[in-house]
Amino acid sequence: MTKTSFDLVVVGGGPGGYVAAIRAAQLGLSTALVERAELGGICLNWGCIPTKALLHSATVLRACREADHYGVTGAGAAQPDLPAMVARSRKVAGRLGQGVAHLMKKNGVTVFAASARLAGGGRVALDNGATLSARHIILATGARARELPALPVGERIWAYRQALTPPALPKSLLVVGAGAIGAEFASFYRAVGAEVTLIDMTAEILPQEDAEISALARKAFEKQGIRVLTQCAVKSSSLTATGVKAVLEQQGKQIELEVERVIVAAGIVGNVEDLGLEQTRVKVEKTHIVTDGLCRTAEPGVYAIGDVAGAPWLAHKASHEAVLCVEAIAGLPAHALDPLRIPACTYSHPQVASIGMTEARAREHAKATGGEIRVGKFTFAGNGKAIAMGEDQGLVKTVFDARTGELLGAHIIHPEASELIAGYGVAAALEATEEDLMHTVFAHPTLSETLHESVLAAFGRALHG
C-alpha cells in the first residue's frame, strides 16, 4: 500500500520543488513530491536547459562560419540542420529529466504523478483520488508565459514551447519582449537564418540590466542584423495566407509588420490557480504568493518557493530558496535570501550577466544615504586571452561603495559572461571588499583577469586599460 502520510509534501517538481525534496530527505524527513507533468519542471524540460542546447548549436554554427579567421578552412559553408538541433535539445532535456527521477529514487522521495490541491488541516488532495497528509507543505508550482490579448498563441504565434520545437525555420520572425527569454530566442533564430525583429515596451532591451550594458547588447544585436524596436507595443494582429500581420505602436507612430511567425516572451504569471488557496490565509499579489524571508506564507505549515513566490524568476533562486526553506523547517539555522546576491544571466550572443545594483540604482542609494560610489570598467579588448580567442568585444563593469569598498554591483557583456559572473558572486557572498579583490591573484592568460582589472579601474589602478 502506498504511503500517504509524510513530514513534508512538495507540490511541483521543478528546480525548486525537487531540490526541496532532496534536501528534506537528506535531513531525515519523510518526503513526497507531487508533479503533474515532467520532473524537472519548465526549466529543465521547456526552458533553461533546452534553450541553452539550441543556443550552443548556434554557437557551434557561428564558430564554423568564422573558422577561416582562425586558420581552419572548409567549415565556412556550414548550414543549420534545425530538426537535428531541436532533436538534440529534446534529448538533453530528456536525459536530465531521467536524472531527476533517479535522484528521487536514490533519496527515498515518494513521487506522485498528479495535480494537487490544499485540502486544509495539513492535507493535500490529488486528482487521482488520493489524499496526502503532512506537517509541512511547500508550494513550488512555478509560473507560465504571460498571454497577450493581441497575440493569441497558436500555430503561427508561439510561446516558448512552440519556439523550442519549430516544425520548420521561419524566414521572418517577430519576438515580443526583449527580456532574457526574448533576447535568447532572437539570438538563436537570427543565427540560424531568420530575419528577426525584437521589440519591447521599455526604453531599452534587457531592461533589468545596467543601462550601459543594455545599450551595448542592443548595438551587438543590431550588428548581427536583428531589428530592435524599443518603446514599442503590439496593438493588434491578424493571420495572413503566409503568416501574421502585426500592428505595432512606437511612441504614437503605427508600424505594420508582416512575418511568418511571432514569439511571445512578455513575462510570466504565477501558477496559483486550483491550489485551494482561497480556503487558506495564503495571500496572493499580482499572481504570486506572498512569503517572508524563510518562505513561509500566512497559512501555518504552508510555504512557497521559486517562481510562484515572485521575482527574481530564476532557477537558481528557486533551488536556494528550497534549501533554506527546508533547513528552517528542520530547525537548522537559516538566513533569508538577499536578492542583490543572486546572479542573473542572459544566454544571448553576446551573453549578459550581472549581480547586485546597476550603476543608476547605486547612485540613487548613495544619494539617499549620503554616500558615494566608484565605478570601474574594463573592456575585453585589453585582455590577452580574449584577443587570442577572437572574442575581444565586451565590457566588465563594477560598482563599489567608495567609503567601505563594498561591491554593490557587477555587470558583464561577453560570450562567456555567464561563467565569469560567478567570481563576483563568490565575492559578494563572502562580503569581499575592493581590497580583497585587488589582492586576489588571477591566472594569466584568462578571461577572469578582466574581473580584476575592472576592480582596479574603479580605484584608479588599472594596469592594462
- For residue 1, pLDDT over 70 is answered with no
Task: For 318-341, write each residue's pLDDT tens digit.
Answer: 999 999 999 999 999 999 999 999
307 a known binding residue?
yes
**pLDDT value of residue 465:** 79
- Among 56, 288, 444, 452, the active-site one is 444
263 a known binding residue?
no
- Average pLDDT over every residue of 115-135: 95
**pLDDT value of residue 30:** 98
Query: Hey, how many other C-beta atoms are within 10 angstroms of the C-beta on 287?
Result: 16
- Average pLDDT over every residue of 135-148: 96
- For residue 8, pLDDT over 60 is answered with yes
- For residue 244, pLDDT over 80 is answered with yes
- Average pLDDT over every residue of 31-39: 96
Task: For 248-264, write each residue's pLDDT tens digit.
Answer: 999 999 999 999 999 99
177 a known binding residue?
yes
- The pTM for the full model equals 0.95
Task: For 195-237, write each residue's pLDDT tens digit.
Answer: 999 999 999 999 999 999 999 999 999 999 999 999 999 999 9
**pLDDT value of residue 311:** 92
**pLDDT value of residue 313:** 94
181 a known binding residue?
yes
Structural domains in the chain?
A: 5-145+269-339 (3.50.50.60), 157-266 (3.50.50.60), 350-459 (3.30.390.30)
- Average pLDDT over every residue of 371-380: 97
Task: For 380-403, write each residue's pLDDT tens digit.
Answer: 999 999 999 999 999 999 999 999
* 444 annotated active-site: yes
**pLDDT value of residue 55:** 97
**pLDDT value of residue 2:** 77
